[in-house]
Amino acid sequence: MIEAFGFLLTTLISLIPLIASFVVLMRMRTMKRRADLHEAIIADLSRRVAELSSDEKPAQTSADATPVDSPPEIIPPPPQHHEQSERELEMVFGGTWLTRIGAVAIVLGAVFFLKYAFDVGLINETMRVIIGAVAGLGLIIGAERWRARGLHLFAQGLAGAGIPILYLSVYASYNFYELLPQPMAFGLMCIVTAIAVGVSLRHDSAVIATMGALGGLCTPFWLSTGEMNTVGLFGYLLVLFIGMLWLNYHRPAWLSVSAAAHAGVWVFWSYWMSVRNSMPDPDVLEATIFALAFLCAGVLYQSIIERHGNVRPYAWIARALHGMHIVVMYFMTLGAISTDIAWENGATAGLLGVALIVIALLFRRDQHSDTASMYMVLGLLALGHATSFINGTYNQSIGLAAVSLSSMYLLGNRQYKAEMVVMGLMLCQSLAMALPEAAFRSFPTVSLAPFLNGRSTALIINAAAVIAWSGFASTSLRLPSIIHFLFSVSGYLILVWCVHLEVFSLTANTDLVVYPMISAVASWPTAYAHALASMVSVLLFSLMILRLRVPARQDVVIAGVAGSAFACLWWLTHVVQAEDPSMIASYINARMFSGVVICAALYVTARGTAASELPRLARHASSIVGACLVIFSFIFVTIEVVWPEVIAIHVAEGDGKASALVDAWNRFHLRMSATWIVFSILLMVIGFVRRMRPTRIAALILLVVTIGKVFLYDLSFLQQPYRIVSFIALGVILLAAGFMYQRFRSIIFEEAT
């Protein structure tokens, strides 16, 4: 390896004459062409002057002679000289290529000589390093002399060859030959980097500056001892990074310098993240501080170039590069603070998020909206990450929803698309945490007071955030209106569902609720709690529809209609769930009270939304609520009428009395059939009085179903007395229905016309 490096270094040194000869020849060729062109122009001008002098005529002596203006002479372009082409061809072959071939021959001879000197030991290791250092410095000094003479390109080539030779000489003295200790080699590397920066500024060369940046970034790798020194590594890289940013600020066109510095920092941070788990002492605090320092350096640099209005070539590339640096260092900072202490991680991430949001507001104040959006998004993500360290699902959901809600009102109703998308995603994550927890583990074992627990707080804040996001996003994002409607409707549904759960916890007596909050109802069955919770939900939805039924809040109408239907369905499916039906008294009970209140609320809502001056959506809401009223009241009345027989059936089954059980079932079906018949007649009367054809059709359908039940079921299973009563009652009702259709047939024909 040592011999190979020596040969490589000697080869580089030997190539210097070839490079110099090439640059000089190219410069001579350019100067020769310019001289030939100048000679041709001078010759052409001399010829024109001679022609003008020979064609001059004597002045006219006549007094009445009128001078005649001659048209301006068009000067033709200089002719092509065949002799000049021959001289150029001769110069190319005789002066250029012969010189190049001679330079290559000299370089090859020098390479073979130095290779022979290394093989036989004429040049030892120390001399090799000295030769490299002298050659590198000589090239740089020579470049200064040629730059002073005006040969700038040739001077840049010499300096560009000298910088790598200096780096390789220091590297060889430490790594290959072990002539220098690491601190001294590190100092020399830093000196070479400083020389490269100075030379690049002297020669105005981005290539030399990029060499210095790459050499400075490779220094920790070249001089590595195999052990990770977090403070030393990132301290050096921070100084180098700031220096490269300073250089790029004063030379905006040197984008390669900034790109090399950023890429090198990212590579070293990625490497540290990959080995931190295997380090005995990962230096988390030090790494976090340095990560924040790199992040702050990028923020300050971006602020300086944007505040000062520095016009930069390829501005979009520079902006993308700096933005990428902020994003990378943001994730590196969050990765560096990952420890076993949750509150430290959460506090640091929260402070980082707040700082980024403040920076975003400062940039937005200076009208840098794109940069501000990037910092705002990162700040929101940092705050969202901070909430993941909070204990408890509800608490994490509260944190996410609170961050989204406060950010929306902080930004205001403006066109901030990226921020709204991020807040929408955070809300979706928050809902995914709170809703399943409330649905499957919805009842706290102990609650201090209504709405003073994690569940209700999480649901209320999430509902408010969802409703607010729907309003803000409608002006910021070009999403289909149905998405905004769904978010807003979901928010109102969640809000009422929270009240539903709290009312249930007030009155329920189950294993999931250690004790109900109202001790007077501790002996109530769970069905009463479901009935009262559903009743409160229907009342709230009815108030929403009636109070906020203006066209601008049609989402409230949709939420009220959907929520009312769902609450009624919940009532119908949960109020009959009781292991002992005798616990629920017949007729006079909390279930009857809740059912009557729900029917009244649905009736008032249907009447209130049926006015013609309301929008079309509200009129459809009236029809849907009316249909819910008919279906709910039908099932509700049926349950209450047959409930005494349900209790009798349960008692007969418990006592094992077959005859009593049969009688109870007969009475059950008789009550059901009679209830259905009476209900259908009432619907028919309402349909004729209110001139509502759908109601009359529903009454006819119910009547046909009841007739089918009587003939197909009651006729087969009921005892003879119950059959007689059923058929007599059915006949009377059918006659009454037929009479009504004959009596009010004019109403039917008027509706048809």
Q: Is 586 helix (H, G, I), strand (E, B) or coil?
A: coil
pLDDT digit string, tens, across residues 284-297: 888 888 998 998 89
What pTM was estimated for this model as a whole? 0.67
Residues 139, 158: Cα–Cα separation, whole Å: 5
Average pLDDT over residues 551-577: 85
Q: Are the CB atoms for 542 and 506 separated by under 8 Å?
A: no
User: Residue 30, class by beta-carbon neighbours within 10 Å (0-12 exposed, 13-18 middle, 19+ buried)?
Assistant: exposed
Q: Pick the range with the lowest mean pLDDT from 154-163, 487-496, 581-590, 609-618.
A: 609-618
At residue 724, the pLDDT reads 66
Beta-carbon contacts of 61 under 8 Å, excluding residues fewer than 6 positions away, are none
From residue 497, how far is each of 540, 569, 706 by CA, in Å?
A: 10, 14, 36
Which residue did the predictor score with more confidence, 298 or 721?
298
| pLDDT band for position 39 (cuts 50, 70, 90) | confident
| pLDDT band for position 71 (cuts 50, 70, 90) | very low
Identity of residue 63: A
At residue 2, the pLDDT reads 47
Long-range contacts of residues 622-631, Cβ cutoff 8 Å, at least 24 apart: 623/694, 624/561, 624/565, 625/545, 625/561, 625/564, 626/602, 628/564, 628/565, 628/568, 628/602, 629/599, 629/602, 629/603, 630/683, 630/695, 630/698, 631/568
At residue 266, the pLDDT reads 93
Of 394, 499, 493, the closest CA to residue 441 belongs to 394
List the domain boundaries for the chain.
1-48+86-226, 524-656, 680-753
Q: What is the mean pLDDT of the chain?
A: 75
Residues 711, 730: Cα–Cα separation, whole Å: 10
Q: Please report where in the chains the tokens 């200096």 appear, as a residue.
A: 166
From residue 163, how far is each of 54, 175, 261, 444 by CA, in Å?
A: 63, 18, 18, 72
Instruction: Assess whether pLDDT exceeds 70 at residue 264.
Output: yes
Q: What would the two tokens of residue 277 be?
A: 């788990």
Residues 447, 457: Cα–Cα separation, whole Å: 12
Q: For the stretch 601-611, what's the b/e string if a residue is b when 16 or more beta carbons lie within 10 angstroms of its beta carbon?
A: bbebbbebbee
At residue 62, the pLDDT reads 41
At residue 749, the pLDDT reads 45
At residue 515, the pLDDT reads 52
Q: Are the CB atoms for 174 and 182 separated by under 8 Å?
A: yes
pLDDT digit string, tens, across residues 113-154: 445 555 666 667 777 678 777 877 887 887 777 777 776 666
Among 35-39, 140-144, 702-706, top mean pLDDT goes to: 140-144
Q: Pick the range with the lowest mean pLDDT from 83-97, 294-308, 532-546, 619-633.
A: 83-97
Q: Are the CB atoms for 516 and 506 separated by under 8 Å?
A: yes
pLDDT digit string, tens, across residues 661-675: 888 887 887 788 778
Residues 254, 207: Cα–Cα separation, whole Å: 9
Instruction: Assess whether pLDDT exceeds 60 at residue 635.
Output: yes
Q: State percent of the chain over pLDDT 90.
A: 13
Instruction: Assess whether pLDDT exceeds 70 at residue 222.
Output: yes
Inter-helix orientation angle 315-336/284-307, to 10°: 160
CA atoms within 13 A on the CB side of 188: 22
Residues 366, 41: Cα–Cα separation, whole Å: 57
pLDDT digit string, tens, across residues 192-221: 999 999 888 888 888 889 888 999 999 998
Beta-carbon contacts of 201 under 8 Å, excluding residues fewer than 6 positions away, are 209, 247, 251
From residue 198, how far is each of 193, 212, 255 by CA, in Å?
A: 9, 10, 17
